[in-house]
């Protein structure tokens, strides 16, 4: 009777061990199935007993397309870099063109201003020449008249214009080596206040007045 109980206890322990081992293996297989652990290679001696073949690594076949794809990727990167450089160069070129246009505009404005000044100077010289020519012509006309008639005409002149006329007459007399009639004209002027003002202005005034 004791021999039977001892044999039954050993069988029960062996069964429990088998059950525990099965549970462990089943748990590992389940974890491998869930992707938590990778134990198929370790369990392959056990799983092969149940007809599950050992997993063999799959080698990727060599394909020329992989090299083409890598080369194409590098070419695209190079094209992208070249494109960015071209865009940067284009922006710099636009900035330089804007600076050049601004400088051209400034130069054009300066040229216009200079041209206007030249035209103003030419016009001033023309007016000066015309006024000098008119003064010389009038002075010669007065110098050829009787002094009393010349003074009568001079009374109608503005004081500044008359001073210019008298100084022109003095200059023409000096150039011709003749005596000037200016002092005599002033001496016979009926308005002595006007005569004194004319004499004072002739001393102060340097030459023909272009403003009047």
Q: Would you say 180 and 170 are in contact if contact means Cβ atoms under 8 Å apart? A: yes
41-50 pLDDT, tens digit per residue, is 665 666 565 5
Q: Is the pTM of this model over 0.85?
A: no
Query: pLDDT per residue over 105-142, tens digit each?
Result: 888 888 888 888 888 878 778 777 788 888 999 999 99
CA distance 127 to 133: 10
Largest CA distance in the chain: 186
């Amino acid at each position: 009777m004791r021999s039977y109980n001892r044999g039954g206890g050993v069988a029960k322990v062996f069964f429990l061990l088998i059950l525990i081992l099965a549970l462990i293996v089943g748990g590992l297989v389940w974890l491998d199935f869930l992707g938590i652990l990778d134990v198929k290679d370790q369990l392959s001696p056990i799983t092969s007993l149940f007809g599950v073949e050992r997993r063999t690594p799959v080698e990727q076949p060599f394909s020329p397309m992989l090299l083409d794809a890598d080369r194409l990727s590098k070419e695209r990167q190079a094209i992208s870099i070249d494109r960015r450089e071209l865009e940067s160069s284009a922006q710099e070129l636009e900035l330089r063109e804007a600076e050049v246009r601004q400088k051209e505009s400034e130069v054009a404005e300066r040229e216009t201003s200079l041209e206007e000044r030249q035209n103003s100077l030419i016009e001033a010289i023309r007016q000066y020449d015309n006024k000098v020519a008119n003064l010389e012509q009038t002075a010669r006309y007065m110098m050829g008249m009787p002094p009393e008639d010349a003074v009568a005409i001079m009374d109608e002149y503005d004081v500044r214009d008359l001073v210019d006329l008298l100084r022109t007459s003095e200059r023409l007399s000096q150039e011709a080596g003749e005596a000037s009639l200016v002092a005599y004209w002033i001496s016979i002027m009926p308005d002595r206040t006007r005569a004194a003002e004319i004499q004072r202005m002739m001393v102060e005034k340097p030459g023909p007045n272009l403003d009047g």
